[in-house]
Amino acid sequence: MSDQSINEIQDEIIDEFAILGDDKESTVFYIMELGSNLEPLEDRYRIDSNLIKGCQSKVWLEAELEDDRLVLKADSNTDITKGLISLLIRVLSGQSLDNVINADLYFIEKIGMHNVIGSQRSNGLASMIKQIRLYAIAYKTKLQSQS
């Protein structure tokens, strides 16, 4: 579980990317490195129902509830996309449902992600965020109906 708040983690990421400066090549290499370090998803989660629509490369996303917090696992067939996912997981996984639902993910704009990954990728990233929020909302609704 994450002890840091969403915004603390976002600020950390912004600082890390600031070290890379505005050199796109180093930034993309860094994202790819993050991607290749991401733990691969177990095969049982790499199923069509976990695929996110709107992503050009394949993205599988699995969201579970542990102690009222959202735990995210994800994978992709391309390392750059995996790198993007790893950032989202770092920021959002282990956070409370309300914090995920209400998160203002300002780090994406701050690190100039749009310029780095282009417009098609950016749409894919937006789809991933939307899907994560939908999972959080679905779990919240489920919890409320149980109480």
- Which residues of the shown chain bind another protein in the complex (CB under 8 A)? 23-25, 27-29, 32-33, 35-36, 56-57, 77-80, 116-117
Q: How many CB atoms lie within 10 A of CB 61?
A: 23
Smallest gap from residue 47 Cβ to another protein (A) = 19
Smallest gap from residue 79 Cβ to another protein (A) = 5
> Is 59 labeled as catalytic in the residue annotation?
no
Q: What is the dihedral of CA 103, 78, 38, 62, to 10 degrees?
A: 60
**Among residues 9, 52, 55, 108, which one is catalytic?**
55
Measured between alpha carbons, how far is 13 from 42 in angstroms, rounded to an integer? 27
Measured between alpha carbons, how far is 133 from 1 in angstroms, rounded to an integer? 18
- Cβ closer to another protein: 25 or 67? 25
Smallest gap from residue 142 Cβ to another protein (A) = 36
- Cβ closer to another protein: 5 or 26? 26
- Cβ closer to another protein: 6 or 88? 88
54 to 21, 59, 75, 81, 120: CA distances (angstroms): 30, 10, 15, 13, 9
Active-site residue numbers? Answer: 55
